[in-house]
Amino acid sequence: MSTDSQQSVDDDGDTTGDATMTETEALRERIDELESTVAELAEFADTATADDDGQKKMTLIATKGTLDMAYPPLILASTAAAFDWEVVVFHTFWGLDILHEKKSRNLQLSSVGNPNMPVPNIIGAIPGMDRMTTRMMNKRIADNDTATIEELVELSLDMGVELQACQMTIDLMEYDDDDFYEGVTTGVGAATALRHLGESDVQLMI
Amino acid sequence: MTTELDITETLDVKGVSCPMPVVKTKQAIDELGEGDILEVLATDSGSMSDIRGWAEGTAGVELREQIEDGDVYKHYVEKTG
């Protein structure tokens, strides 16, 4: 009885031993596989970090040239630059006027089609109304010590923001390179914008 | 209310609003050396959240203290690297 019992334990022990060996081998192989995957990933992470240095990048597309819509891209761009982000703002269509030295000082509000305006559309449509609401807005900007568009453009350039002026729009509007603030990048198009958008962590069209 | 920190320089951005307090702080910090502490005096109530957010999201700076002193928001930023 005791022999039987001993036999049975040995048999069981052997069977378990074989299974353990196979499992151990399989696990070893799996560990080897995982180790090489981890090594590959670590190598990839190293290259990725070396490439971008952990620096975030933001690309904005500025398409609007009204006084109210000129602020968001410039405020975001200068602030992102303060975070040490690499920042590109691609200005196209009316957004180009933000970079136009003369026009940027005279951006207008639109009284019509803006429900936040203090005047109804039918009054807003009266000639001279945009000029009046713009004057009111400019007074508020001055009273609140809010930065002007000109100040924000200069500040953004100072902070290293790349302000790009779409060449197609420059030609379309018949502007000259000299019309823009010093430091503005001209001679760029959609492909340049896409390249930056593709490399960016944050992309916004404003 | 005052701080007990050893201030290296003071930046006065009283009166100006977003994004100026943060951007001017960044420009001032860039001029300082490691271990220096910049005091920022602002009246923009958004600066309490903005300067904290900026300091937390930017390498090489640490927000040491923020004090609300009447109408003035005082921020103390150390350059750590």
> What is this model's ipTM?
0.82
Return the pLDDT at A49.
53
Over the stretch A44-78, which tens digit does the pLDDT of each residue have?
A: 877 665 455 678 999 999 999 999 999 999 999 99
The radius of gyration computed from the CA coordinates of chain B, to the nearest angstrom, equals: 11
Contact A84 B22 (CB under 8 A): no
DSSP classification of residue A100 = B
Q: Residues B53-60: what's their mean pLDDT?
A: 92
Can you give the residue ranges of every domain in chain A? 1-54, 57-205
The minimum CA-CA distance between A75 and chain B, rounded to whole Å, is 6
**Euclidean distance between CA atoms B27 and B7, whole angstroms:** 17
DSSP state of B46: T
> Is B39 in contact with B71 (CB distance < 8 Å)?
no
List the single residue in A with minimal CA-CA distance to B54: A83
For domain A57-205, is the CATH number 3.40.1260.10?
yes
pLDDT above 90: residue A7: no
Q: What is the pTM of this model?
A: 0.76
Instruction: Please give the interface size between A and B, counted as residue pairs whose CB atoms are below 8 Å apart.
Output: 40
Res A118: pLDDT? 80
* pLDDT for A154 beyond 60: yes
Token representation of residue A67: 């006084």
Q: Do A82 and B16 touch (CB under 8 A)?
A: no
| Inter-residue contact B38 to B32 (CB < 8 Å) | yes
Q: What is the pLDDT of residues A72-104, one digit of tens each?
A: 999 999 999 999 999 999 999 999 999 999 999
- CB-based contact A111:A104 (threshold 8 Å): no
Structure tokens at A76: 């975001």
Which of B15, B22, B23 minimises the CB distance to A145? Answer: B15
B7, B18, B23, B72: the active-site residue: B18
Is B70 a known active-site residue?
no
Give the per-residue pLDDT at A149.
Answer: 95
Using a 10 angstrom Cβ sphere, with 0-12 exposed, 13-18 middle and 19 or more buried, the burial of residue A182 is: exposed
Q: Hey, is the C-beta of B63 within 8 angstroms of any chain A C-beta?
A: no
Q: Say which residue, A13 or A41, is predicted with more confidence.
A: A41
Q: Minimal Cα–Cα distance from A154 to chain B, Å?
A: 12
Contact B17 A75 (CB under 8 A): no
Asked whether the bond before B19 is cis by omega within 30 degrees of 0, the reply is: yes
The verdict on a CB contact (< 8 Å) between B23 and A145 is no
CA atoms of A27 and A15, how far apart (whole Å): 18
- Answer whether residue A167 shows pLDDT above 60: yes
A184: CB partners within 8 A, 6+ apart: A99, A157, A163, A164, A165
Sign of the C-alpha dihedral computed for residues A57, A60, A61 and A65 taken in this order: negative
Comparing CB atoms, the residue among A145, A146, A155 nearest residue B23 is A155
> Taking the CA of residue B16 as centre, how many other CA atoms within 13 Å lie in the half-sphere pointing to its CB?
17
Nearest CA-CA partner of B48 in B74, B13, B11, B14: B74
State the burial class of residue B57 (Cβ atoms within 10 Å of its Cβ: 0-12, 13-18, 19+): middle
Q: pLDDT > 90: what percent of chain A?
A: 61
Residue A15: the pLDDT is 55
